[in-house]
A and B are shown apart, each in its own frame.
Chain A
Amino acid sequence: MSDVETRFHRFKDLPSTQLLGTGTPMCAGCGGLQALHEIYDVLGEKTVFVNAAGCMTLLSVYPFTPFRGSWLYTAMASAPAGAQGVRDALDILLEQERMPPEEDLRVVVLTGDGAAYGMGLSATSGAIERGLDFLYIVYDNEGYGNTGQQYSGATPHAARTATSRMGGGFRGDKKDLFDIWVAHRPAYAATVIGAEPLDLARKVERAMAIKGPKLILALAPCPTGWDFDPKLTVDIGRLAVRTGIWPLKEYVDGRVVHSKTPHPRKPVKEYLSLQGRFAHLFEPQRNAAELTRMQAKVDEYWADPAT
């Protein structure tokens, strides 16, 4: 991304403003909240949030809100439809000159992975197809966090969840939402993580400059659902990147580019062993075969990353 004009060259250029209010009911150490406050600092306050049901719904429980502007709550599957309604309303106000252009707002969907990888896919696909001008932020805690971490379409292989509690954990594989978006040829798509704030800020900045459907997909380490000490949120986030499990990349102008290529990559077991949901891979016996398969999957991705 070096050829891009950015106001974020060094860490010192990150905003120190803290636009998002404190006092929210998210868990201590919530990786999703970390990403959101970093994103909001770049986006600015001229935004309308359309929130699919999930942990973040609790952000705005009357009379409390950490946002500086409007917020709309939708059912799990319908945030992109809600965003369409808000965008249309704003466009009508602009067209009829009932609102000056400088008061226009950005329409931002805020959604968990349960909605984004599953129930909300149809509405999302439709919104991208219609070329809706919106930013779609996913905080991916790899499960239905708000209802007790049942598995979702984003749950990784072998993770224990409330609905895959026993034995080897979740038997399926994590869907690739980034690729699902890219297959739609959106205006922009990027993966980010709160533990890499500079990379995140540049991508949000880039997304803001482009009209159309845009994805910001944030892996969100979740102490509660992933079962780790809350102080490890950043360590786990950094390891997700350095082990290659969470590739940081963006899709722009029809191409996928990796914004960080971990080199050398750390072994995935360093990431897995910090989380209670994967503890069964290490105790009481080490599941060497499963660990080897999981490492091989990551190696396979990086052998031919889609750049």
Chain B
Amino acid sequence: MYRIRFHGRGGQGMKTASRILGSALFAEGFEVQDAPRYGAERRGAPIFAYVRADRRPINERGIIRRPDLVVVADDTLIPVPAAGVLAGLDAYSVLLIHSHESADTWRRRLNTPARVLVLPLIEESADRADLPYVGAVCAGAAACLLGVISEDALATALRDELGPLGEAVVQRNLDKALAAYRQMVEVCGVVTEGREANAADYTPPEWISLAFEGANVSAPVIHAGLTSSAVKTGLWRTLRPVIDYDRCGRCWWVCSSLCPDGAIQVEEGRPTIDYDHCKGCLVCVAVCPPHAIEAQPERTAESLETPK
């Protein structure tokens, strides 16, 4: 059975990628499962989608823990623990990264047993939640790596999935998908089918037994307020708003009221952006009267930060 996991950000079309690949495998006579993982499917947030394909009926369900192929649409997700990009990779897996850096660089960086391949990033976009065609590109490259999907099957699947968006959109996506497919011909078929899951391989989770207590004793957090701030939604951000305090007119009621997430705190009239939680919607940039807030690509902003 082939087990394929797609990683991207909300808005990059990972669900579409999984559906195109799934339909292509189906057209080639496979039994197929394809599904996005249900969660916060929000623009910029880490998104997962899964494809399983086998010539025999598939009895496995749920998330893919031991993938044969992992496709990463956005390399900025790799260091994000919540994205779990590297989870379950072994020496039999292939990791395909859509990146402007080389495969050697990623091999050195990641030190993973998996075979690392790079799909060169053709178009860079300042806003990475908006990489055009990335879903189609990833599906095209993955189709070639599996070695069991013809260009025709890929094209039919893409038409099936994107048809309602109109011929112009289909054609642009198809061109990109086929180009990505052809870029991978040298490594066509490198992905191998993983073993059948076997009950004997099952390792039970390491349970910790706790004595029974009232919830307010054992888990007081159940009754606590404001726990959502433990979730760092700043990871969704692909563009970062930066306040130029020389230009800021201290009209905090504008940016702090209008920030949908309440991520702008005010102290003595001075606004501060909470980067742990700012999702990068850029509403503040749009509404700031003296244009004192600038949007910087997150990658650039991070590299300018002085290490703590």
Interface residues of chain A, those whose CB is within 8 Å of chain B, are: 11-12, 14, 16, 18, 20-31, 33-34, 37-38, 45, 58-59, 62-69, 165-166, 194-195, 197, 223-224, 230-235
The one of B10, B40, B253 in contact with A197, judged by C-beta atoms closer than 8 angstroms, is B253
The one of A64, A165, A194, A197 in contact with B228, judged by C-beta atoms closer than 8 angstroms, is A64
Min CB gap B12→A, angstroms: 14
Q: Which of B65-73, B143-151, B152-160, B279-287 lies at the interface?
A: B279-287
The reply to whether B233 and A231 form a contact with Cβ atoms under 8 Å apart is no
The reply to whether A21 and B228 form a contact with Cβ atoms under 8 Å apart is yes
The reply to whether B260 and A31 form a contact with Cβ atoms under 8 Å apart is yes
The reply to whether A28 and B227 form a contact with Cβ atoms under 8 Å apart is no
Q: Is B113 at the interface (CB under 8 A from chain A)?
A: no
Chain A minimum-CB-distance residue to B219 = A63
Please judge, given known A-B contacts A18-B256, A30-B260, whether A233 and B231 are in contact too, CB under 8 Å.
no
Given A64-B231, A232-B286, 15 further pairs, Cβ under 8 A: A11-B257, A16-B252, A21-B226, A23-B276, A24-B231, A28-B43, A29-B282, A31-B260, A45-B225, A64-B228, A197-B253, A223-B281, A224-B43, A230-B43, A233-B260
Chain A minimum-CB-distance residue to B256 = A16
The reply to whether A64 and B286 form a contact with Cβ atoms under 8 Å apart is no
Size of interface on B: residues with Cβ below 8 Å to A: 47
Q: Which 9 A-B pairs have CB atoms at the shortest separation, nearest pair first?
A: A29-B281, A22-B277, A231-B282, A28-B279, A23-B231, A25-B40, A28-B281, A68-B225, A34-B260
The reply to whether B232 and A197 form a contact with Cβ atoms under 8 Å apart is no
> A16 contacts which chain B residues (CB < 8 A)?
252-253, 256, 266
Chain B minimum-CB-distance residue to A34 = B260
The reply to whether A27 and B43 form a contact with Cβ atoms under 8 Å apart is yes
Interface residues of chain B, those whose CB is within 8 Å of chain A, are: 10, 39-40, 42-45, 164, 219, 221-222, 225-233, 236-237, 251-254, 256-263, 265-266, 274, 276-277, 279-283, 285-287
The one of A23, A38, A62 in contact with B229, judged by C-beta atoms closer than 8 angstroms, is A23
Cα of A52 to Cα of B250 in the assembled complex, Å: 38
> A65 contacts which chain B residues (CB < 8 A)?
225-228
Please judge, given known A-B contacts A18-B256, A28-B279, A33-B261, whether A23 and B228 are in contact too, CB under 8 Å.
yes
Please judge, given known A-B contacts A22-B277, A28-B280, A28-B281, whether A33 and B260 are in contact too, CB under 8 Å.
yes
The reply to whether B258 and A194 form a contact with Cβ atoms under 8 Å apart is yes
Cα of A303 to Cα of B154 in the assembled complex, Å: 56
> B277 contacts which chain A residues (CB < 8 A)?
22-23
Which of B10, B221, B258, B287 has most chain A Cβ within 10 Å?
B258
Cα of A166 to Cα of B236 in the assembled complex, Å: 31
The reply to whether A14 and B281 form a contact with Cβ atoms under 8 Å apart is no
> A224 contacts which chain B residues (CB < 8 A)?
42-43
The reply to whether A22 and B43 form a contact with Cβ atoms under 8 Å apart is no
Q: List 28 A-B contacts (CB under 8 A).
A: A18-B265, A21-B225, A22-B229, A22-B233, A23-B233, A25-B45, A25-B233, A26-B42, A26-B260, A27-B10, A27-B279, A28-B44, A28-B261, A28-B280, A33-B261, A62-B222, A64-B227, A64-B230, A65-B225, A65-B226, A66-B228, A69-B225, A195-B258, A197-B257, A223-B43, A230-B43, A230-B282, A234-B258
The reply to whether A25 and B42 form a contact with Cβ atoms under 8 Å apart is yes
Cα of A30 to Cα of B10 in the assembled complex, Å: 14
